[in-house]
Amino acid sequence: MDIALLLLRLTFGFSMAYHGLNKIRGNGLSGTASWFGSIGMKWPRMQALVAASAEIVSGLLLAIGLLTPLACIAFVSLMLVAIITVHWKVGYFIFLPNGGWEYCASIAVVAVALGLIGPGKYSVDHVVSMSQSWGPWVAPIALSLTMCHLFLSYRPARQ
């Protein structure tokens, strides 16, 4: 079980960190900010910086198993924002043009599961005896943060 948790944490953690790094390196933060603006996010440059930072930091935290519930909350929030702002209207399947919400939902579910189970014994949290007692709150906290974030900063164009 602990090896499985380690594999999940490393795979999803480093993948998310790399995704965030790509927001900075790919087309640069300006390109990401421009895209955020085009989908209806207020303050697109700040949104791009916060999203990239959240992906990098939460990805690295999850990979090493440090503050695992916080990393999982960030993962779920990031994926919910992606689903609501971009992928929901496309449909479920990732292979659809512009990508459906299948992949984002899978990442969110993995994060909720890791939040509930904990990072396992091959983690910094385990080494420092960090309590995982608030793991069941991962999904409700993430949903609350996501809704607040979208209420304050998402203004999609009316169709």
Query: What does the alpha-carbon distance between residue 64 and residue 34 come to, in Å, rounded to a whole number?
Result: 32
Task: Name the average pLDDT for the chain.
Answer: 94
Entry pTM? 0.93
Q: What is the pLDDT of residue 129?
A: 87
Question: What pLDDT digit, counting tens, does each position of 5-62 carry?
Answer: 999 999 999 999 999 999 999 778 999 999 999 999 999 999 999 999 999 999 999 9
Predicted confidence (pLDDT) per residue in 124-141, tens digit: 999 998 766 777 889 999
Domain ranges of the chain: 2-153
Share of the chain above pLDDT 90, in %: 87
**Hey, which bits of the chain come out as E strands?**
none
